[in-house]
Amino acid sequence: MRYNTVKDLIDWAIGFHERMAHQYRDAAATAKSRDERLAMALDYLSDRELKLKSGLETLTHDGFDHREVLDTWFDETGEFPEPPALDALAERPVADSIDALMRTAADEHERLESLYRHRAEQAGIEPEEEFFTALADGHNAEGKRMVMSLKELQSM
């Protein structure tokens, strides 16, 4: 997958979070009748995805401090496998147990963090590197929070 600007990548990530949120929400509706805890975990993840989406959307508003970075052009040759793998993840069933759900969600977070770290390493300007490093660090922290919350729910 090739991107033209940093904003293109952020727009893709916004769409990815939205797709995952819908996928989790749909799976929660199906799970409610057979596994209430799994449905709660799926609802939780759907809410987290929507918050991540919203957070990225704030970065793209006009007048936001990152306009210089968002308008930065870069060329991704397609050798980096994360976007296609994440697109495939957004298309497959998420889970039938909290353990499987935790693995799916952790995989998603690790891949997005890896994508952001890759872009930080490939950055052409320092503000772009700082931007993607901050995204990666934030995503790492969110992933840890998510795993802890799912473990707590699982132990109930």
Separation CA 102–CA 154 (nearest Å): 10
**DSSP-derived secondary structure for 6-58:** HHHHHHHHHHHHHHHHHHHHHHHHHHTTT-HHHHHHHHHHHHHHHHHHHHHHH
The pTM of the full predicted model, rounded to 2 decimals, is: 0.87
Closest by CA position to 10, among listed 115, 84, 137:
115
Domain residue ranges in the chain: 6-155
pLDDT tens profile 34-51: 889 999 999 999 999 999
Distant-in-sequence, close-in-space partners of 118: CB < 8 Å, separation ≥ 6 = 80, 82
Separation CA 48–CA 41 (nearest Å): 11
pLDDT tens profile 96-146: 888 888 888 888 889 899 999 999 998 888 999 999 999 999 999 998 999
Q: Cα 8–83–31 angle (5° rounding)? A: 110
Q: Report domain 6-155's class.
A: mainly alpha
Contact predicate 113/136, CB 8 Å: yes
